[in-house]
Chain A
């Protein structure tokens, strides 16, 4: 996928001015849904600790569990293709499709497929990929990337759906009426049924891989992933190496967190465990089962300050609760993974030189970390990226100078307090009577979206602190 992360600022400005996008983004409800589901499970906070610990245990023994997993897949008659890079993974998928003589390939929703650019590669080689998740389907018609990791068409409105369907399904009467959302759904269902029945290969992602049994797990609400992996002759699972967990019990504990954090459901509609190919006497199921196991930059995160990011179960709670994502939407982030998890993961996978803006696209409010089901310290890791950005001189000069000045002051408490007192006094005088600044020379961009409260009389925090301590007689 083409990366526009270096243009994050321009992307964000465009997003803010896009009325249709802002309308779509204003449809929030995910906070309340998550909050309700969490409130209904008193053990939720303890389960978050469990989830973090399971993932940490797995990552500390990742090599062992990957080998154990692969052995089980093979014992169940499946094939594992270890791929270090995106190129290798694309080639492995293409080869499986070619061997199967595939012309049509159905696809379940998979972020790793977006990361690897599987669709473009298949198309370039004469194979038709058909996305079957409803959201991914319309994005494929519109040739757009997803803007959210679980609701890929989050940025679209009903009008967009109707327009795209009319433009693409030209064999249907042009004047047909979509009375309700259900009519849009019904048209997609009929369309995709044809694809399901015609497909030679089905490609899905995996939410988890289980070492104990050699199973891959997908979680969906629509059932498209299940049709994708059940009907064609060949099932290909695309999964990155950090998806592995040791046992069914470990997976179950993480599943208790996933749907609640993602959509506020207690459990998704379909949670499916696939293990190998069709067994003798089975009446359905694929005859071949392949796992394309992808590294693509993850092993290099092991043992670094970014290892914790490999705990991510892709629930999207962090972006659902992010004030920056909430106004820019996902496309502004410029690559596959948006929101706070993307701000940490994207620099790891594509390089901080291309993605330096992303870890800066944060107010450090900490909401992402407070909802992350596996307790990933997202703000801390964004700070690590900012440090690396600074070390590698990727930060623009004015910002470096300002940081340098601040650093000089911060190391000299006397000068710092004096500067703070002077600044506050000036702002306090200017702002007297109005309470807040709605405009500020040199900071117009900042004040366009928010007010800067004017300091109240009474001195700086340190002044007050000193006074109170004296008052307390210490």
Chain B
């Protein structure tokens, strides 16, 4: 069987048999402890400055961002953004309780459907799990309330993120995710809108994924309404 043949060839190359139990134990322990390596100093900052770094890095990667003082203002910020970009007032939104609790009904002209995205959607609203200041990266783990297609199919992707969920380095976001349960099926780390440089090495935005990535950063500390 190929499995044994491959493992056997590796062991022959390493000039040993299967690892002795105690060494296997050590390696299992290393995986369980998952030690961190060198973390760049860039993100070792007080939280307020991490948020500022997150914003600066996101904008350097062609993302846009608006800061709102509390969650109740998210629907209006979304509506204003769509109007400003000449986009239709229709969106597919993650069926996440934090997003569904927002006062969308105060905007009767905005049509909001809580579901996964389809190929015809122009605008999606996703729930941001964490922001990583080091490179202005969003962490978007899949879950029934956070479908992956919302990160990908619409030309305009909006992500609602609480400022309190901005961390410094990727490692901190991994630890949060580990604390929340088993590894989700899909974890996307998203840094800016989709792009390609395949034509003459010249950067163009909007390859297969969203052409625009807009983050609404909610300052309100603690759980939203």
Contact = CB atoms under 8 A, between A and B. Distances in A.
A29 interface: yes
Interface string A54-91: 10000011111111101000001000001110001000
A273 interface: yes
Interface in B21-49: 24, 27-28, 30-31, 34-38, 40-42
B202 A181 contact: yes
Given A226-B152, A272-B189, A249 B198 contact: no
Given A83-B2, A132-B208, A267-B137, A282 B147 contact: yes
A291 B206 CA distance: 29
A266 interface: yes
A152 B199 CA distance: 10
B201 A182 contact: no
A54 B153 CA distance: 36
Interface residues of B, number: 75
B209 A222 contact: yes
Nearest to B210: A223
Contacts of A29: 201
B166 to A, nearest CB: 16
B38 A223 contact: no
A441 B152 CA distance: 62
B185 A279 contact: yes
Contacts of A24: 200
Contact of A273 (B3, B10, B95, B183): B183
B152 A46 contact: no
B168 interface: no
Interface stretch (A11-19, A185-193, A327-335): A185-193
Interface residues of A, number: 101
Given A134-B207, A252-B174, A256-B40, A241 B6 contact: yes
Contact of B38 (A76, A184, A253): A253
A395 interface: no
Contact of B199 (A181, A227, A266): A181
Nearest to A184: B199
Interface of B: 1-3, 5-7, 9-15, 18-19, 24, 27-28, 30-31, 34-38, 40-42, 57, 61, 95, 115-116, 119, 134-135, 137, 142-144, 147-149, 151-153, 170-171, 174, 183-202, 204, 206-210
20 contacts: A61-B19, A61-B27, A63-B18, A76-B183, A76-B185, A82-B6, A134-B207, A151-B198, A181-B204, A215-B187, A221-B197, A223-B209, A266-B134, A269-B192, A269-B193, A270-B191, A275-B183, A285-B185, A295-B2, A302-B9
Interface of A: 24, 27, 29-30, 41-43, 46-47, 50, 54, 60-68, 70, 76, 82-84, 88, 132-135, 138, 151-154, 156-158, 161, 181-182, 184-185, 189, 192-193, 196-197, 211-215, 221-224, 226-227, 230-231, 241, 246-250, 252-253, 255-256, 263, 265-279, 281-285, 293, 295, 299-304, 307
